[in-house]
Structure 1
Amino acid sequence: MRLKYFYFPTIVLLSACSVGPDYKGPPVIKGVTDSQKPFARAVGIQSASVASEKMWWVSLDDPLLNDLILRTRKANPDISIAIARIRQGRAETRLQGANFFPDLSSNTSYARARFPSAADGGPASNVEAYFQGFDASWEIDIFGEKRRALEAAKANRQSAEAALDDVYVTLEAEVAHTYVMLRDQQQRQALYQCSIESLERTVSLAKERFQRGTTSTLDVLRLDQQLQQVRAEAQALTAEREASLDKIAILVGTKPGDIDGDLSRSASIPLPPLSFTISNPEEVLKRRPDIRQAERKLAASTAKIGQAQGARFPKVKFTGLIGTGGLKSSDLTRFDDFTAYLAPQISWDFLDFGRNAAKVQSAKGGRDEALANYHKTVLVALQETEDALSKFKNDRIQVAVLARSEQDAVTAVQLTRQRYQRGTASLMDLLDTERRQISTRQSLVQQQAALTIDYIAIQKAFGAGVSVAQ
């Protein structure tokens, strides 16, 4: 009797243990995740003291861009794919959780059998049997195989949630990047048109001078070749602009051409704020969704080691049945006379010729791969952040230099125009100075777009935007 009462508590205590390694949180990568140093390439960038804006794109002060990003967050197919994967992960978690409970099923059966005649030549006999009842089975998770499976399912679900955040971060940056490129292409296309008009006037003037014998055929051909080159560049830019329009349309979840009317009118390039919050490496490693995704995959692969090790130990299973029945249909309602049994069962696949051991080694290999991938993801994240900060800092200097150069070019046009009006400079000199000013302006516009794209890359590297309510 004492053994009877000792048996169940012993099973419960045994089921409280789990074989395999316990996951202890994100691993420390010496010299990387334990470093308290700020980003090396952030030196020289003015940092704001205010908290960073969750919707970082608002700082670009472009209402149309804000609308495009919000539309993308609602309608892009990649988001729907990521959300569907989260639903799969949640369903798998519920499935693994349900494995802790008994399997219950109902059973109603009828059987009819005919037995041959006896040896003395008597008639054959027919026998009928009726049964209805319930049966159950319950496998006790003594060594934690099921608990490790549930841990893995939860970690995989959390990895899918981090993947959704990563999709948001990527799409927000992609929309902003493409939008800035579109505005850059529109601005430069307008400048190309000014340059074409200036060159057409110059070629026309050169042809008049050729007819008067004051210039050579080579000069006319050289100017005409330059005009055709600029026209070709402008045409190529038209194709790039249309490709940007199509890409934005796909990002917001509609077909190419549907948003041309909203974006066809040229507008200025949105510029980054003068100062913004610069996160430190520790914050970036915690916020970036791709790092969280890699860390959760590491947690899941660690749990799978215990799941594989648990399969190597004995399993204890209880099966039971209760019901009524007999040789007549009326026996189904005789609840005072019922059949019942409860049977414990121990099974142990101890001679499997190394199958389970191989599964454990495979799980350990998966854990080691996930650990290396986590390490790589962290290093890539830090590299992307440092590169984005460095490029922003240097491109900002180039913008300042080109802005001064453009101002000098504007002054040169003004002085040449005054000389032309006084008759000390030719129309050819004036047109040539205007073209140089247009070219300088094109370079400035292109560099301004590059600076804003650098700012977008910084926000993406920081993992900004993932805290926006889904």
Structure 2
Amino acid sequence: MEAAPRRDRHPLMNALLACGLAVLAGCSVAPLPELKPPVPETWRNAPAGVAPPSADLKGWWTALGDPALDALIDRALQNNLDVAQAAERLRAARTLNHHARDPYLPSLHGRTNDVIDPDTTASYFVVGFDAVWELPLFGAWQSSKRAAQGQENSAVAALRGAQVSLVAEVSRRWIELRTAQQQAQLLGGVRDALQEKLRLQQVRAQLKLVAPADIAKTQAELARSEAALTEPQQTIIACVQQLAVLMGQPEPDPAWLTPGPQPQLGAWQLTTAPADMLRARPEIASAEAEVLRAAGDLGMSRADIYPHIGLGASLQWSTNILSNYRAHTGEAISSFGPIIDVPLFDWGQRVAAAHAKDHQLKAAVYAYRQAVLQGVAEAETAMGDLEQSRAREDATQRASVALDGTIAALRKREELNLGSKLDVQDGLIENQRAQLELVSAIAARDLAYVSLYKALGGAPMSNPPLPSDAPVSDVPVAKGTD
């Protein structure tokens, strides 16, 4: 009559034991700090009337209107070696993250051993299995996942950062290349006009219509124009070599040396500048991942202060393979019970390690805030540069249009014998120099545009692809989870 109540107690005791273990497993988890980046609601250096919709950074470079640049960026994203390195590190971090909690799963080991009896009268061959299950108590289960997830998030941010830097660098080098090619053509035009002007002056000098000082001045200008031609040529050589490195190839493409149209924004204006764009900055994402990893390390250090509790089982079978006094026999033995590892003399060291991890977590939070502030400062600066460069391009464009009209008027006066060819050459030289200023202004605005979107975390695509064998869907934007 009394046996039944005892059987009823077993499920209750088991439930209480399970609840106790669950409580132990969940306690001492380091709380994740609340990260609220101090992002401004509006930008001080943005043009008036900029609306704050949701961010869309996909394919931002297409606004430059250069299909050759678009194709170049696609090639770079697949072939760049820095991106390939970051992709491999992400694969490694993801593999480890998938098995972050494996140390807290039951493990089974099989082993053999050759044992000699201490009295040297017998030798035994032992075969056995050992099973150990360390219980993930005191927050170790969640903390181990946090640390591994932080490592994966950091690898995702590194890949995104490599791609952002790659796209920005390819855009910059391509803009500089096309700009240098345009400058070389215009400087060649200035040189040709100066050569024609010098020829005309030498003809007039024979007629005593031009002073020798004027000829010397024109010769000096011609020499300076020839010297100026070396600068864009140097830029062209440097840009094609850098583009080859970015493409992951040893030699530049010959097609790059063929002059082409300069990329330019044209009528594009900044109409959207949402503050949440900054959240896509790889530097901020990396700092956030470091906070998650530091929180996981803190939780693991706290769990290490307390006893490690687990369950163990063993099954061993031995056979006497050599004996001086008895026949060969075989025996089996098994065991099962709890395993408790209590820190004693090194407990103070473990407590100090936990305190150190707590300070490292606080440092990671400060680093995150610093990354946000740095991102805001870079975005504000780049936004101001873009607006000022737009004003400069508009002004130089108006000056160039005005000089085009002047050249037409000078040519008309020459046809009517109201002006000279020297006046036309002077007008051509001035016009070419105005075109040089316009080309530089367009390039400055293009580069400011690239800098702005890099400062805003202009990722090459919403989910960055892994090069080679991994599809885009394999790289989600990792979030911190418990």
Taking structure 1 as the reference length, the TM-score comes to: 0.87
DSSP 3-state at the match of 2:128 = strand
Pairing partner for 2:290 from 297, 304, 309: 297
1:42 is paired with a residue of what secondary structure? coil
Secondary structure of residue in 2 paired with 1:398 = helix
Alignment partners' CA distance in 1, 2:53 and 2:363: 40
Provide closer, same or farther for how the CA distance between residues 22 and 262 of structure 1 changes in structure 2, counting only shifts above 3 A. Answer: same
Matched with 1:100 is: 104
Say whether residues 1:338 and 2:332 are aligned partners. yes
- Give the Å deviation of 1:11: 5.3
2:63 maps to which of 59, 63, 74: 59
Residue 14 (structure 1) shift:
4.0
Q: How does 1:50-129 map to 2 (within 5 A)?
A: 52=56, 54-113=58-117, 115=119, 126-129=121-124
2:13 corresponds to 1:18: no
Whether the 8 Å CA contact 1:127–1:327 is kept in 2: the answer is: yes
C-alpha separation between the residues in 1 aligned to 2:370 and 2:50?
30
Return closer, same or farther for 1:158/1:399 CA change in 2, 3 Å cut-off: same
- TM-superposed CA distance for 1:24, in Å, is 4.6
C-alpha displacement at 1:18, in angstroms? 3.5
Give the Cα–Cα distance (whole angstroms) in 2 for the partners of residues 323 and 332 of structure 1: 17
Backbone CA RMSD of aligned residues: 2.9
Q: Retained in 2: the 8 A contact 1:131–1:332?
A: no
Residues 1:274 and 2:268 are matched in the alignment: yes
Residue 404 of structure 2 corresponds to residue 400 of structure 1: no
**TM-score, normalising length from structure 2?**
0.85
- 8 Å CA contact 2:146, 2:295 repeated in 1: no
Any residues of structure 2 matched to 1:356-435 within 5 Å, and which?
356-435=350-429
| Percent of aligned pairs with the same amino acid | 22
Is the CA contact 1:130–1:332 (under 8 Å) kept in the aligned structure 2?
no
Deviations 1:107-143 (A, max 9, x none): 122334584xxxxxxxxx7312122120122222221
Instruction: Report the CA distance between 1:241 and its aligned residue.
Output: 1.0
Q: In the alignment, what sits opposite 1:118? A: none
Q: 1:159 aligns with which of 147, 150, 154?
A: 154
Is it true that 1:461 corresponds to 2:459 in the alignment? no
Say yes or no: does 1:139 pair with 2:134. yes
Q: Which amino acid aligns with 2:358?
A: K
Cα 1:45–1:228 shift into 2, 3 Å? farther
Counterpart of 1:355 in structure 2 is 349
In structure 2, the residue matched to 1:122 is: none
**2:235 is the alignment partner of 1:210:** no
Aligned partners of 1:311 and 1:356 also within 8 Å: yes
Supply the distance in 2 between the matched residues of 1:48 and 1:90 (Cα, whole angstroms).
Answer: 35
CA distance in 1, matches of 2:49, 2:197: 44
Structure 2 SS opposite 1:137: strand
- Is the Cα contact below 8 Å between 1:46 and 1:274 reproduced in 2? no
Deviations for 1:122-170, whole angstroms, at most 9, x for unmatched residues?
xxx7312122120122222221235312211111111211221122122
User: Does structure 1 conserve the Cα–Cα contact (< 8 Å) formed by 2:320 and 2:329?
Assistant: no
Change (3 A) 1:267 1:301: same
Query: 1:307 corresponds to which residue?
Result: 300
Q: Secondary structure at the match of 2:229?
A: helix
The answer (yes or no) to whether the contact 1:76–1:253 under 8 Å persists in 2 is yes
Q: Which residue of 1 aligns with 2:246?
A: 251
Question: Structure 1's 412 and 176: CA in aligned 2 closer, same or farther, altered over 3 A?
Answer: same
Deviation, 1:57, is 2.2
1:200 matches 2:190: no
Q: How far apart are 1:278 and its partner, in Å? A: 1.4
Aligned mates of 1:356, 1:398 — CA distance in 2: 62
Change (3 A) 1:51 1:17: closer
Please tell me whether the aligned partners of residues 185 and 237 of structure 1 are also in contact (alpha carbons under 8 angstroms): yes
Residue in structure 2 matched with residue 321 of structure 1 by the alignment:
314
- Pick which of 269-278 and 149-158 moved more: 269-278
Letter paired with 1:268: P
Alpha-carbon distance between aligned partners in 1 of 2:79 and 2:450, rounded to the nearest angstrom:
21
2:471 matched residue in structure 1: none
1:311 shift after superposition: 1.3
Aligned amino acid, residue 310 of structure 2 = K
Amino acid across the alignment from 1:270: P
1:350 is displaced (CA, Å) by 3.3
Alignment-mate amino acid for residue 379 of structure 2 = T
Which residue of the other structure, out of 162, 169, 175, is the alignment partner of 2:170? 175
Q: Which moved more, 1:376-385 or 1:271-280?
A: 271-280
Aligned-partner residue type, residue 96 of structure 2:
E
Aligned twin of 1:121: none
